[in-house]
Amino acid sequence: MTDHSALNQGNGGETHQVADADHPVLTTNHGTPISDNQNQLKAGARGPVLIEDEVFREKMNHFDHERIPERIVHARGSAAHGYFECTDSLSDITCADLFQKKGQRTEVFVRFSTVAGGAGSVDTPRDVRGFAVKFYTREGNWDLVGNNIPVFFIQDAIKFPDLIHAAKMEADRGYPQAATAHDTFWDFISLMPESTHMAMWIMSDRTLPRTFANMEGFGIHTFRFMNKEGKSTFVKFHWKPKAGLASTIWDETVKVAGADPDFQRRDLFERIGRGDYPEWELGVQLFDQAFADSQPYDVLDATKIIPEEVLPVRIVGRMVLDRYPDNFFAETEQAAFVPSHVVPGIGFSNDPLLQGRLFSYTDTQLSRLGTVNFHQLPINQAKGRPGGCPFMNQQRDGHMQMQVPKGRANYEPNSLARAGEPGGAREDRENGYKTYPAQEEGEKLRIRPESFADHYSQARLFWRSMDPAEQAHIASAFVFELSKVSIEHIRIAMMANLRNVDEELATRVAEGLAMDLPKASPTKVPVIDMEPSPALRIVRGPLEKHTLEGRTVGILFADGTDAGELKAVRDAVKKAGGHPITIAPKVGAVPLSDGSRVKADAQLFGQPSATVDACAVVLSAEAAAKLAKEGAAVQWVMDAFGHLKAIGHNAAAKPLLDKAGVEADAGVTDLAGFVDAAKRRYWDREPKVRTLA
């Protein structure tokens, strides 16, 4: 069992280490002893964070400047341009310009990213994906900086440097890169019960998205909308993918990473190039203080969701990405997303994680881009009103100043216009940005409200909302990750936390590790059973789509393939909206049955079946017999079956399928039934092809 002699329970129920004979006193860089390293300084338990908090500012300042010039987190990213179109006016709820008129379009730039890996890591590790949207509105830029998961690991931003340090490659050995399956990450998670809900999400298929187009996006935090009368409405943001939710499974993920480290970046580029533009609907959950007060959790807690069955998501717009960047560095790498960049009509709540991000992101962009003038880079520039200047103020000079301001009015107010000289911009008291005048009171202290103390009820909600196939993946992911943890007491502590989530889950993990279950870790408040939320599922969930639109189909053929069958399969896939890729042992001119020769799109060794969504095998009897002796061809078919994909085949290809161990089921069809079968995965096949926890 874990030795808890050097651990304490914080006021919000979190566990943290305290100084003792083995642990020196934690201090600032200037030697001041720190009494609380868990919470920012606030005005009241649920009040705003105070800027005088030097402990937080020093810690976050240092963290934000630790890497140059690569992003500290979200370094591996891909992006695209597009537009947002309002489909349902919110003029009664917010005065934000982009939501005023149905049909109004606003330019956007969207960056997707992984979190833990460096810029040179692969696209497809088990990791959270960033989902950041820059809206170039007529009243300035709004950066909605979120993830593909609606909750986060921590409740207070002061813990963010600790989280990332634990998740990144270990400090003494420099590995693992872009992976959480190691001691320091799980040590931190096991000691921070508030992270348990997020741990359930990251062990789920949500962190193995098939493509960027198959991800949901979330603003995570509770924000505010304000209308022209100054009325405030709380809001949470959701991006719903038109292509539907889809993920890979772990064995498939590993093989995709080996075959194509740029798989998701390439998919985004190629989708846009062929006109399969990724598209999302923007939904909002709108509520007032009375609704917030009625829930059994705190809406300011970033480790919690509001289930969609409790508060439905209202669709108010759509976003289409239709142009890839012209230059990766100038746009994707130099794009600076800052959550504090909002426009009139959008504001913030007192979520302490959000409050810390409002400070941190500007600071890190100053370090990464090297100048206070990063807003002048073309990708970051506000567009401004038609015919107007994108930004106008008296801020001058600074490193890399790219404008040439005229006149001597570099201060405000001034009266130079009365003398016929340029006087510069002035404030707009009627239409300028107004902060919601929330009333706050309370003592200055470092504390977390008691309403933040329930760390397990929503983790239990997530587990019990999953399809059985997803539950098996989650349990197996915990087994895999914890099997990489070399320190036994960390595994024990994590299993103790999982007992508070669900006994079945904890038992499956313990059996997978061949370890005894420890006692459940202590909880400050009772764990409650919430109604399951089917909206959280991918498998057999509301956003799982049975379609070929925008998806790729690999067609394996070889010398002597019937030309008519090959053409029929390609044409059928295209008609269904799919993207066919012909794959052959050699990519040059392949002779077909009618004497014609065609070039393959890809070569068998270079395009494993893990990189496509469904597979067709169209061979002559001679080629099938030959390929049955070729390991790459057998593996190609074996993996397609093992990854639960549809396999269409002609009669002559049957010997290759037999050699690969393919068994008859609903997903293994003749060519006539292939296109319909190719629109889905076959989850019922999984117990036949692998052992899961």
Alpha-helix residue ranges (DSSP H) falling in 69-212: 160-167, 183-191, 196-202
Type of residue found at 63: F
Estimate to the nearest angstrom the gap between the alpha carbon of 270 and the chain centroid: 21
Note the pLDDT of residue 2: 47
Whether residue 362 sits in one domain with residue 239: yes
Provide the residue type at 60 as one letter. Answer: M
Does 230 share its domain with 331?
Answer: yes
Q: Which of 380, 398, 418 is the last residue of a domain?
A: 380
What span, in angstroms and rounded, lies between the C-alpha atoms of 238 and 437? 26
Angle between helix 250-259 and helix 468-483 axes, rounded to 10 deg: 60
> Which DSSP string corresponds to 543-564?
T-----TT-EEEEE--TT--HH
Predicted pLDDT at 428: 82
For residues 114 and 120, give the distance between their C-alpha atoms in angstroms, rounded to a whole number: 11
- Number of folded domains in the chain? 3
Could you tell me which residues are annotated as the binding site? 71, 111, 160, 357, 361, 368
* Enzyme catalytic residues: 74, 147
Is 166 among the domain residues? yes
- Residue 15 has a pLDDT of 56
Question: How many Cα atoms within 13 Å fall on the side-chain side of residue 126?
Answer: 25
* Residue 487 lies inside a defined structural domain of this protein: yes
Burial of 89 (0-12, 13-18, 19+ CB in 10 A): middle
* 612 and 475 assigned to the same domain: no
Residue 531 to residues 42, 456, 463, 470, Cα–Cα distance (Å): 33, 14, 11, 18
| Residue numbers belonging to the annotated binding site for heme | 71, 111, 160, 357, 361, 368
What range does the domain containing 502 cover?
Answer: 461-536
Together in a domain, 515 and 556: no
CB 158 within 8 A of CB 56: yes
- Compute the chain's Rg from CA coordinates: 27
Angle at 453 between CA 452 and CA 455, to 5 degrees: 100
Is 152 among the domain residues? Answer: yes
Q: Which residues does residue 237 pair with via DSSP β-bridges, in sequence order? A: 284
Nearest alpha carbon to residue 207 among 275, 99, 131, 283: 131
- Are residues 276 and 170 located together in one domain of the fold? yes
What does the DSSP assignment read for 327-347? -IIIIIIT----TT---TTEE
584 plus 671 within the same structural domain:
yes
Number of H helices, E strands in the chain: 18, 22
List Cβ<8 Å contacts ≥24 apart for 514-521: 515/491, 518/1, 518/492, 518/493, 519/1, 520/496, 521/193, 521/493, 521/496, 521/497
In this structure, the answer to whether residues 331 and 375 fall within a common structural domain is: yes
User: Do 506 and 645 reside in the same domain of the chain?
Assistant: no
Q: What is the pLDDT of residue 609?
A: 98
- Cα(666)–Cα(274) distance, integer angstroms: 31
* Cα–Cα dist 481/491, whole Å: 10
The CATH number for 319's domain is 2.40.180.10
Which domain CATH number covers 666? 3.40.50.880
* pLDDT by 10-residue block (mean), the chain, 693 residues: 50 60 81 88 93 90 79 95 98 97 97 96 97 95 97 97 96 94 98 98 98 98 97 98 97 96 97 97 98 97 98 98 96 95 95 95 91 91 74 83 87 88 83 88 92 98 98 98 98 98 98 98 96 97 96 97 97 97 95 96 96 98 97 97 98 97 97 97 96 95
- Phi/psi at 621 (nearest 5 deg)? -60, -40
Which of 536, 566, 585 is the C-terminal boundary of a domain? 536
Q: How far apart are CA 566 and CA 653, in angstroms?
A: 13
Phi/psi at 388 (5° precision):
-105, 170
Instruction: Determine the pLDDT at residue 12.
Output: 54
Residue count of the chain: 693
Identity of residue 305: I
Residue 580 lies in a domain: yes
Q: Report if residue 3 sits inside a domain.
A: no
> Is residue 297 situated within a structural domain?
yes
Q: Domain check: are 498 and 594 in the same one? A: no
Same domain, 513 and 619: no
607 and 682 share one domain: yes
d(CA 389, CA 60): 34
Coil, strand or helix at 42: strand
The tokens 């396999």 sit on which residue? Answer: 647
Q: Which residues pair with 589 in a beta bridge?
A: 599
User: Which residue, 510, 536, 562, sits at the end of a domain?
Assistant: 536
Concatenating the DSSP letter of every residue in 61-110 gives: HHHHTSSSSS-SSS-SEEEEEEEEEESS--TTT---GGGSSTT-EEEEEE
217 belongs to a structural domain:
yes
Dihedral angle, C-alpha 215, 221, 224, 225, nearest 10 °: 0
Residue 498 sits in a domain of what CATH number?
Answer: 1.20.1370.20
Q: Where are the beta strands (DSSP E) in 299-449?
A: 314-323, 346-348, 444-446
Do both 370 and 504 map to the same domain?
Answer: no
Decide if 350 is inside a domain. Answer: yes
